[in-house]
Structure 1
Amino acid sequence: MLPYYLGCPSWSENAWRGSLYPADAQSSQLLGLYTQMFNAVEGNTTFYARPSAETVQRWADVMPAHFRFTAKFNRDISHADDLRERLSAAEEFLQLLAPLGERVAPLWLQLPRQFGPARLAELAAFIAEVQRPLAVEVRHPAFFAGEEDERQLNRLLLDSGVERICLDSRPLFSCISQDPAVLNAQSKKPRVKVRPSAFTQFPQVRFIGRPEPAENEAYMTQWLGKVAGWIEEGRTPYVFLHTPDNVLAAQLARRFHERLMELLPGLVALPELPKVEPVPQMSLL
């Protein structure tokens, strides 16, 4: 058991076959294999589409009790015109994920860039109704200006026991490249100032790395000290590592843990890559 949660944006990356996963791993085996190496995953899949009840039950059957799935509210909730009008949809969403129990913690509310200070009353009402462990990611420039609008947001989150997600996209935007994956990521990810906050016992970090592993080391060093400090304070951070196309995300996550072990003597190593027995082929005879 680790003193923090570590993971990637998803578990179903086909490019990980032959490195993180055995080359012959079946799609149905990927979640189980992932949970043997990491203890958390970002719930990006629920942002884009609601899973079926059958899919949620399959997840519940595979995810161990200690695992954490930071499910994002679907975008038809988080990106609505008024959050207060989507409370019924939010409750339905929570009921859909109920089979996962405490493994869905915290829920993530990823707000769009246009969600600004004038809408804080909506956010306050939404938080009051949800009554579940929650983390919020904001993208409006006013929330990164260090002025009264940002202070009001921080007071709301602190008073409500809600975490502010720390997004670090500096490595991504330091990259000058014509790689389509990099350009695509730069067009979609927010370019905002870093806010290494810890409003609750469970700080949340999203690190968007560069495609060249060595180029992430200096940025990662800053987070290693912060995460080690949080752990020593008795907090339980969540750390999620990305790369532009996420082909190297798992490698980056494992590297983060290796370096954290240098700062925290006694921290156990991540498990070795699991083995999967090949699926027998049916005879045609």
Structure 2
Amino acid sequence: MWSLKSWQGRFLPHSGSDRLRSYAGWCNAVEGNTTFYATPSRETVATWAEQTPADFRFVLKLPREITHSHRLADVSGLPEFLRAIEPLGDRTHALWVQLPGSFGPGDLPVLSRFLRGLPGHLRYAVEVRDPAFFHDPHRLEEVLAGVGAEWVPFDTTEFFRTPPTSDAERDAWMKKPRMPLRTVALTDQPIVRYLGRDAVDRTVGGWQRWVPVVAGWLREGRSPTVFVHTPDNADAPALCRRFHDEVRALVPELEPLPVSPDPSSLPEAEGPPTLF
């Protein structure tokens, strides 16, 4: 996710050819949500690698045919996906296995078989959306720990604390899952997804519980990745940097984020935007 229209001219150039490079000047990780809908070509992925530094982190969502249509039972499309992302090399921080809300604790044997059949040189992070997993987390934790996979919490507690007040919030209210809060890391590379509100003060207030948690992980020698969302994501890059600053105030040895580009220096449009 690095081509949001509302970011153009603010965080990214208007031209579609160099947006990822500009995004990497604001943040050092990205959710690869587009791979959920279509597997990109190796040539496209090679341009992603070329536009990002060697330590940039891609958390790439597995295709929906695997996770949702076939519910992990048919992985025939996985080799094509893995070949496509090879140009990223170590930039592939984790493959993100986002499961549908209908995938519950009774499906754990399927998840276990799937994870154990994956290539061992990559890291995996699983996001579940059935609240039953949170009521008795130990069974899922055992499955994930057996293969060194992480459990990705999606913190929507602040978002659902009060009713929506805008069209963007109402749309997200219908689409986003109401998930219990989870702040436990299973591996040395935890991943957190957080959803705030339109109002900056609400978003910042809601993430305050995460600042000491993430700082604690860093002090333990872990290397967390945190993604900050709002209903329209219009200010997400700036909010991510603000969250990073708050964590760095507690852990001064944390490396600073890249120096963000001056928006006035961004080039004007040269053609239609493209993802693939």
Task: Answer whether TM exceeds 0.5 for this pair.
Answer: yes
In structure 1, runs of 5+ residues without a counterpart are 1-9
Please show how residues 97-246 of structure 1 align to structure 2 within 5 Å: 97-130=85-118, 131=120, 132-145=122-135, 147=136, 150-246=137-233
| Equivalent position amino acid for 1:80 in 2 | S
CA contact (8 A) 1:165 1:205 kept: yes
Distance 1:226 1:189 in 2: 23
Query: Which one has the bigger helix percentage?
Result: 1
Residue type of the alignment partner of 1:188: K
Distance 1:50 1:42 in 2: 15
CA shift at 1:38, angstroms?
Answer: 1.2
- Return the alpha-carbon distance in structure 1 between the equivalents of residues 117 and 144 of structure 2: 14
Q: Quote the residue 1:259 is aligned against.
A: 246
Asked whether 1:75 is paired with 2:64, we answer: yes
User: CA 1:64–1:265 in structure 2 vs 1: closer, same or farther (change >3 Å)?
Assistant: closer
* Residue matched to 1:89: 77
Match of residue 41 from structure 2: 52
Q: Is the 8 A contact 2:29 2:58 kept in 1?
A: yes
Cα contact 2:193–2:226 (8 A) shared by 1:
yes
1:215 CA displacement: 1.1
1:21/1:273 contact within 8 Å kept: no
Any idea what the Cα deviations from partners look like across 1:29-65, whole Å, max 9, x if unmatched? 2100111221100010101222233321221221221
Q: Which runs of 5+ in 2 are unaligned?
A: 271-276
- The residue aligned with 2:55 is 66
- Equivalenced residue count is 266
Provide the TM-score with structure 2 as the length reference: 0.90
- Per-residue CA shift, 1:235-280, capped at 9, x if unaligned? 0001001010111111211110121122112445434431446469
The separation in 2 between residues aligned to 1:256 and 1:105, in whole angstroms, is: 20
1:6 maps to which residue? none
One-letter amino acid matched to 1:105? H
Question: Which letter does structure 2 place at the counterpart of 1:189?
Answer: K
Give the structure with higher Rg (CA): 1
Q: State whether residues 211 and 248 of structure 1, in contact with CA within 8 Å, keep that contact through their aligned partners in structure 2.
A: no
RMSD: 1.9
Q: Between the two proteins, what is the percent identity of the paired residues?
A: 42
